């Protein structure tokens, strides 16, 4: 049985994001491991990208580390496009049903934080008018 080579770029990136957040919180690998019910060696392998993190474990990690699951994929280097197996007509008809949760996106939260950090209500209102104008201009 051949060993799988060190994790692919996405596994390594996700593992780095787990480690970054864990360190940011001042949490040890042992504490994180205990919180999600695995050994600290498993957390080490996840953080290095040697072992892929499954969906349910990633969900648990997001709760323990107090971040949305999307956090682990933030700043992911561009990936080559993958040709979809779904016919274009079906994909376009169902696009709205699979739209990302914009309120859970990090970019949305950053934008809201920056917007509400502006204390002058008149300035916020002018900014909103400007943004709506940009949106209308694009639609025309």
What does the domain layout of the chain look like in residue ranges?
9-73, 100-139
The CATH T-level fold of domain 9-73 is: 434 Repressor (Amino-terminal Domain) (1.10.260)
**Nearest of 67, 62, 64, 68 to residue 34 by alpha carbon:** 64
Q: How far apart are the first and last CA of the chain?
A: 60
User: In this predicted model, what pLDDT tens digit does every residue of 73-83 receive, in sequence order?
Assistant: 988 877 777 77
User: In this predicted model, what pLDDT tens digit does every residue of 30-72 receive, in sequence order?
Assistant: 999 999 999 999 999 999 999 999 999 999 999 999 999 999 9
Alpha helices (runs of H) in 6-54, residue ranges in sequence order: 9-24, 29-36, 40-48
Sign of the CA dihedral 60, 65, 70, 76?
negative
> What's the pTM value of the predicted model, to 2 decimals?
0.57
CA distance 72 to 30: 20
Q: How far is CA 84 from CA 64, 87, 91, in A?
A: 34, 8, 9
């Amino acid at each position: 049985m051949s060993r799988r080579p060190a994790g692919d770029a996405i596994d390594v990136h996700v593992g780095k994001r787990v480690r970054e957040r864990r360190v940011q919180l001042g949490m040890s690998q042992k504490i994180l491991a205990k919180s999600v019910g695995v050994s600290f060696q498993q957390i080490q392998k996840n953080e290095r990208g040697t072992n892929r993190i499954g969906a349910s474990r990633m969900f648990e990690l997001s709760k323990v580390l107090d971040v949305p699951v999307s956090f682990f994929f933030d700043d992911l280097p561009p990936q080559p496009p993958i040709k979809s197996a779904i016919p274009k007509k079906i994909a376009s008809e169902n696009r709205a049903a699979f739209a990302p949760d914009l309120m859970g996106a990090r970019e949305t939260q950053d934008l809201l934080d920056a917007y509400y950090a502006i204390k002058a209500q008149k300035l916020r209102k002018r900014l909103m008018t400007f943004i709506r104008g940009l949106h209308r201009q694009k639609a025309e």
